[in-house]
Amino acid sequence: MWVAYAIGSAVFAGLTAILAKIGIRHTPSNLATAIRTVVVLAFAWLVVFLVGSQNTITDLSGTTVAFLVASGLATGASWLCYFRALHLADVNQVAPVDKSSIVLTVLFAIVLLGETESLPTRLAGICLIGVGTFLMIERRAAARGAQSWSWLLFAIGSAVFAALTSVLGKVGISGVESNLGTAIRTGVVLVMAWIVVLVSGEHRLLRTVPRRELLFIAGSGVATGASWLCYFRALQDGPASVVVPIDKLSIVLTVAFATLILHEPLPRRAAFGLVLIVAGTLLMLV
């Protein structure tokens, strides 16, 4: 049964980007992120109460709380960059760059944390993912000027902050139950997202968000929450060495959904790049 939950985690993770892309066609990306985070936060705390980890909140130290806040800020920055990139480019362009955060995470772990176990295998995986990501970036944007590449800067920012989130979590919050840590981090993301919305004045547009887009934005949050629920249930019953790779392969479903639902093109060059990303991910997780 845990295999079904692991597959469910990957499916819902793949749907997240598609639903978000549909929901931010006319809605400012920062406002969409803030709305979506409300839904994600509800799911995060639902998981906390399902596993009973709310009872450990009084055991958190000041250092742990500080790292949770820092990790939440990094997560918020990653989400803001990711949805801005989705607003500017195709899912098939943004998703591979965002997923390349695993490369930065491994590099940070090697350099900052001294994690050199299976180093040759990890470096080989990094090379495959890096080459695959490069192949999936559309070159045709270059002909349209530098403005067309702005999405890439946001996608790279999303990957960098996502990697920092993992490192901060590894360094400073090893003593907190993972579900509780996720819920607290999501709370920080919510505050950060709404501060950005208020400072930018986008809150004035809240009433003008089309109902259809609002439903898709909320659906994106529900998909994220459902992915988390399936993921943690799969980890509870099955081996992490199998569950994690299945979840990471959500990029295949993301690209498939983008091609079938959004009719985004997937040239042969990009398809080969996707194969390399999948191969590199599996190589790093064996």
pLDDT at residue 192 in the model: 92
d(CA 40, CA 207): 21
Asked if 15 contacts 255 with a C-beta cutoff of 8 angstroms, the reply is: no
173 CB-near residues (< 8 Å, 6+ apart): 64, 67, 68, 71, 181
Asked if 34 contacts 220 with a C-beta cutoff of 8 angstroms, the reply is: no
d(CA 270, CA 97): 12
Closest CA to 163 of 88, 89, 112, 221: 112
pLDDT at residue 219 in the model: 92
**By percentage, how much of the chain surpasses pLDDT 70?**
87
pLDDT per position as a tens digit, 143-194: 444 446 788 889 999 988 988 876 776 665 566 777 787 788 889 999 999 9
Tokens of 115: 């994690």
pTM of the entire structure?
Answer: 0.74
34 CB-near residues (< 8 Å, 6+ apart): 190, 193, 194, 196, 197
Domain ranges in the chain are: 2-285
Tokens of 155: 């996608």
104 pLDDT exceeds 90? Answer: no
The rounded mean pLDDT for the chain is: 81
pLDDT band for position 142 (cuts 50, 70, 90): very low
What distance lies between CA 272 and its chain's CA centroid? 23
pLDDT per position as a tens digit, 83-93: 888 888 888 88
pLDDT per position as a tens digit, 231-285: 767 866 776 556 666 777 788 888 888 888 888 888 888 889 889 888 887 776 6
Q: Which amino acid, one-letter code, is at 81?
A: C
pLDDT at residue 195 in the model: 94
